[in-house]
Amino acid sequence: MAVRLSSCCFHLHALFLGLSLAMPLCLPGASSAATFTFVNRCNFPVWPGILSGSGSPPLETTGFELAKGGGSRSVQAPSGWSGRLWGRSGCSFDGSGRGSCATADCGSGEVECNGGGAAPPATLAEFTLGGSVSQDFYDVSLVDGYNLPMVIDGTGGSGKCASTGCVTDLNRQCPAELRAGGGAACRSACEAFRSPEYCCSGTYNSPSACKPSLYSQIFKTACPRSYSYAYDDATSTFTCTGADYTITFCPNSPSIKSATDSSPKSTTPATDSSATAGSGSGSDSNPTQDTAFTTSWLANLATGDSPRCPPSSIIGFSLNVAISFSLLQVL
Question: Tens of pLDDT along the chain (331 residues)?
Answer: 444 434 444 444 443 444 444 444 444 334 458 999 999 999 999 999 999 999 999 999 999 999 999 999 999 999 999 999 999 999 999 988 899 999 999 999 999 999 999 999 999 999 999 976 789 999 999 999 999 999 999 999 999 999 999 999 999 999 999 999 999 999 999 999 999 999 999 999 999 999 999 999 999 999 999 999 999 988 899 999 999 999 999 997 433 333 333 333 333 333 333 333 333 333 333 333 333 333 333 333 333 343 444 444 444 444 444 444 444 454 5
Residue ranges covered by each domain of the chain: 1-19+310-331, 33-308
Q: Domain 33-308 belongs to what topology?
A: Thaumatin (2.60.110)
Give the span between the Cα atoms of 125 and 154, in whole angstroms: 13
Cβ 103 vs Cβ 212: under 8 Å: no
Q: What is the pLDDT of residue 249?
A: 98
Q: What is the pLDDT of residue 287?
A: 37
Q: What is the pLDDT of residue 131?
A: 72
Q: What is the pLDDT of residue 197?
A: 96
